[in-house]
Amino acid sequence: MALDILEAALASAAAAGADADCARAASLRARILWEGGDVAGAEREATRAREWAHTSGDGREATAALRTVAAIAVARGALNDGIALYEECLAELRAAGQTADLSLTLILLAELYDDARRWAESDAGFAEAIAVAAGLGDPAAALLAELRHAELLARRGDVDRAHAVCERALEMARRIRAPRAMAAAFRTAAMVARERGDLTRAEERLSGAEAAIRDHDDAILAAEIAAERAELYHRQDRHRETIIALNRAYRALSQLRGSVAVADLSRRTRRLEAQFIDVVRRWGQSIEAKDLNTHGHCERVADLACAVATRMGVAAPMVFWYRVGALLHDIGKLVVPAELLNKPGRLSEDEWALVRRHPVAGAEMLRDVDFPWDVRPIVESADDLPL
């Protein structure tokens, strides 16, 4: 209905030669289409909005439309296109003196440079974002730049620099004295401590983040804190607790699916899915460490299951959960003694009954894990066919 109304408004504005109104209507259509999952349609409308904005002489609207096109490119996984578009957007903001949006655009571009391993440009982008924010008297924007920079430095393995940046950010957060600022700073400090190998400090910082955000509804920050909790559990080989925390993070991000307000949502989701697969793969490997006859079995089952699901026309987001379920399908073997799994001779009836119970045991192990998509039937259906 909203799209139809906007289409009618756009047609009326076009007939009247009101290009500025056309640009605004097309921008709204782009937002609605993106939130509805029609990425191609959103990109088309945002491009049209930019053309009309240029014709009308509305530079601010044209730059806003370009920023939307850039964010969509990143969502599609087109890293180099996203970088080029954000660079163009940055040039337009500078030329027009639109400093209000400059810091956030610099942060987004710096993160993309980091993804492309263009680290010197990434560092320079963060430094400029902080300087711009300070010049505008916007401590929240400066804090965001510091925290994002610290996180990416830690991911690169430059933990000493990450620690220094993070300590500076913590002081900024204390001066701001806002719960969200403290939660974000503590979450990043937990990550840096974990990367430095100080798991006790990481736990303290993470508990501080959870306490600060407890009474505040912030899906993005909740997802980041849950993802960091998962990383901490993962480092301690607490596989089941890791998956529970990852589920919380995934569900929080799912609330924002299609939101144009979160330009890097797709990057966050991809990173979270990579964490998910890494955890379940390692958990699966712990099974194979016990059962010497099934080396690589879980990976082969996962590859075949996903190939069949794709051939059947299952949507890509669902195929991801097929892989998770397939990698976990033998998890119940963890309760079976290794000597039974590797016994060279025939099993007794009681021994065979215990081995055959592993699908049920696996489902019981995952009983309280609230997966976004129910993988338990895959685990319950596990058999012992060699692959």
pLDDT of 385 reads 43
**What would the pLDDT profile of 114-123 be if each residue is shown by its tens digit?**
999 999 999 9
Higher pLDDT, 172 or 365: 172
Neighbours of 65 (CB within 10 A): 27
Question: Among residues 171, 183, 113, which one has the least CA distance to residue 142?
Answer: 171
Question: Band of the pLDDT at 14, cuts 50, 70, 90?
Answer: confident
- What number of H helices and E strands is found in the chain? 20, 0
Q: Where are the alpha helices (DSSP H) in 291-375?
A: 297-311, 316-327, 338-341, 349-356, 358-365
CA triplet 146, 149, 150: central angle to 5 degrees? 85
Neighbours of 376 (CB within 10 A): 18
Cα–Cα distance, 39 to 33 (Å, whole number): 7
**What would the pLDDT profile of 224-273 be if each residue is shown by its tens digit?**
899 899 989 988 888 788 888 888 888 877 776 555 444 566 667 777 78
pLDDT at residue 124 greater than cutoff 90: yes
Higher pLDDT, 192 or 376: 192
Sorted by where each starts, the structural domains of the chain and their CATH numbers stand as: 1-97 (1.25.40.10), 130-216 (1.25.40.10), 285-380 (1.10.3210.10)
Say if CB 163 and CB 196 are below 8 A apart. Answer: yes
35 Cβ contact partners less than 8 Å away, ≥ 6 residues apart: 258, 259, 260
Say if CB 273 and CB 246 are below 8 A apart. Answer: no
Cα–Cα distance, 7 to 1 (Å, whole number): 10
Q: Which two tokens stand for residue 343?
A: 């016994």
pLDDT at residue 210 greater than cutoff 50: yes
Report the range of poorest mean pLDDT among 61-65, 132-136, 291-295.
Answer: 291-295
pLDDT of 261 reads 47
Distances (CA, A) of 278 to 100, 223, 235: 39, 18, 12
pTM of the model: 0.74
The rounded mean pLDDT for the chain is 84
364 Cβ contact partners less than 8 Å away, ≥ 6 residues apart: 332
Question: Band of the pLDDT at 186, cuts 50, 70, 90?
Answer: very high
Query: Dihedrals φ, ψ of 102, to 5°?
Result: -70, -45
Say if CB 328 and CB 288 are below 8 A apart. Answer: no
**What would the pLDDT profile of 290-334 be if each residue is shown by its tens digit?**
666 666 778 888 888 889 988 998 887 788 888 888 888 887 777
Cα–Cα distance, 157 to 192 (Å, whole number): 10
Say if CB 208 and CB 333 are below 8 A apart. Answer: no
Say if CB 239 and CB 206 are below 8 A apart. Answer: no
Sign of CA dihedral 324, 327, 330, 336: negative
pLDDT of 168 reads 94
pLDDT at residue 359 greater than cutoff 90: no
Question: Band of the pLDDT at 382, cuts 50, 70, 90?
Answer: low
pLDDT of 96 reads 87
**What is the rounded radius of gyration, in angstroms, for the C-alpha atoms of the chain?**
25
Cα–Cα distance, 58 to 60 (Å, whole number): 6
Eight-class DSSP state of 100:
G
Say if CB 47 and CB 69 are below 8 A apart. Answer: yes
Question: Among residues 150, 175, 149, which one has the least CA distance to residue 163?
Answer: 150
Higher pLDDT, 286 or 142: 142
Say if CB 99 and CB 66 are below 8 A apart. Answer: no
Question: Among residues 158, 133, 148, which one has the least CA distance to residue 185?
Answer: 148
What crossing angle do the helices spanning 79-96 and 102-115 adopt, rounded to 10°? 150
Q: Which two tokens stand for residue 10?
A: 């756009």
Cα–Cα distance, 320 to 330 (Å, whole number): 18
Question: Is 80 buried (19+), middle (13-18) or exposed (0-12) by CB count in 10 A?
Answer: exposed
Cα–Cα distance, 327 to 278 (Å, whole number): 10
Q: Which residue has the tokens 């027009």?
A: 96
**What would the pLDDT profile of 97-107 be if each residue is shown by its tens digit?**
888 889 999 99
Q: Which two tokens stand for residue 360?
A: 């049920």
- Reported as type and span, the H/E element at residue 72 is helix 59-75
